[in-house]
Amino acid sequence: GESVGLHLPTLSVQEGDNSIINCAYSNSASDYFIWYKQESGKGPQFIIDIRSNMDKRQGQRVTVLLNKTVKHLSLQIAATQPGDSAVYFCAEGGSSNTGKLIFGQGTTLQVKP
Amino acid sequence: DAGVTQSPTHLIKTRGQQVTLRCSPKSGHDTVSWYQQALGQGPQFIFQYYEEEERQRGNFPDRFSGHQFPNYSSELNVNALLLGDSALYLCASSLTGTGMCTFGSGTRLTVV
């Protein structure tokens, strides 16, 4: 069946360091992936997305890497700030762009001042 | 530009009761999806509405039903509530064909 998983439930980093959050997916036919950030009491907030015809995509302080060979993607956050503390989810958008997302269980990022 | 709005923000219901949750999509979006998020878990897809019809459905029982109105807003109905239905219910909207969803802040449902 389809599943999306994250490698670590909690990641603790020092303010100013770079953070790397990993995610594995199982559906090799998926062609769209999104990273969301969820703060306590709020809904998931879009961070960055990537399509399967790309290996890397950069945003403001964030980079997503996609390795289709091993079905793995990662989110890199540069110069992590206290405001980055949240739960991060990768979501798989399947192969049909229908808006149905399959989420992993999330990684909690804790930023130490 | 308002994003996705959901109401109510919190709700307490008794086992066996019925509940209706509401969602207004982001301006310009025509597709609404509903997700259930249990504590400490990722959101789970319930179903999706497009052109006032259910287009996709996840692995949820028939007690979960929905509706989409001509203005694209949507309702989620849950009948015969169980304690296990306690969760954060998220509404997400998108423009069909784009895949990228914008989420609301959710409705926290507690069943006692």
| CATH code, domain with B98 | 2.60.40.10
Residue A21, both tokens: 């959050």
- Determine the 3-state secondary structure of B85 from DSSP: helix
Give the chain B residue whose CA is nearest to the CA of A94: B99
CATH number for the domain harbouring residue A69: 2.60.40.10
| ∠ CA B58-B45-B22, rounded to 5° | 110
The mean pLDDT of A94-108, rounded to a whole number, is 80
Tell me whether residues A99 and B90 touch, CB distance under 8 A. Answer: no
B105 close contact with A: CB closer than 8 A: yes
Q: Does any CB of chain A come closer than 8 Å to the CB of residue B60?
A: no
Q: Which domain holds residue A82?
A: 4-112
- Residues with Cβ < 8 Å from B20, sequence gap 6 or more? B75, B76, B77
Total number of domains in chain A? 1
Tokens describing residue A52? 């399967």
Among B41, B97, B105, the residue with its CB nearest the CB of A105 is B41
User: Would the CB atoms of B56 and A98 count as touching at under 8 Å?
Assistant: yes
CB contacts, 8 Å: B28 with chain A: none
pLDDT at A88 over 90: yes
Amino acid, single-letter form, for residue A81: Q
Instruction: Give the pLDDT confidence score for residue A6 in this predicted structure.
Output: 55
Domain range enclosing B29:
5-111
Is the pLDDT at A9 greater than 50? The verdict is yes
Q: Count up the domains in chain B and report the number.
A: 1
A106–chain B nearest CA distance, Å:
6
Rg (CA), chain B: 13
DSSP assignment, residue B25?
P
List A11's β-bridge partners, or say none: A109
B-chain residues near A32 (CB < 8 A):
99
The reply to whether residue A101 touches residue B103, judged by beta carbons under 8 angstroms, is: no
A13: closest CA of chain B, how far (Å): 21
Which tens digits make up the pLDDT trace of A29-66?
888 999 999 999 899 999 999 999 999 999 999 999 99
pLDDT tens track, chain B, 112 positions: 579 999 999 999 999 999 999 999 999 999 999 999 999 899 999 999 999 999 999 999 999 999 999 999 999 999 999 999 999 999 999 998 777 889 999 999 999 9
Nearest CB partner across the interface for B103, out of A44, A98, A106: A44
- Pairing outcome for strands A107-112 and A10-14: parallel
Q: What is the DSSP letter of B28?
A: T
Task: Give the pair of three-digit tokens for residue B94.
Answer: 């998108």
Query: Does residue A1 carry a pLDDT above 50?
Result: no
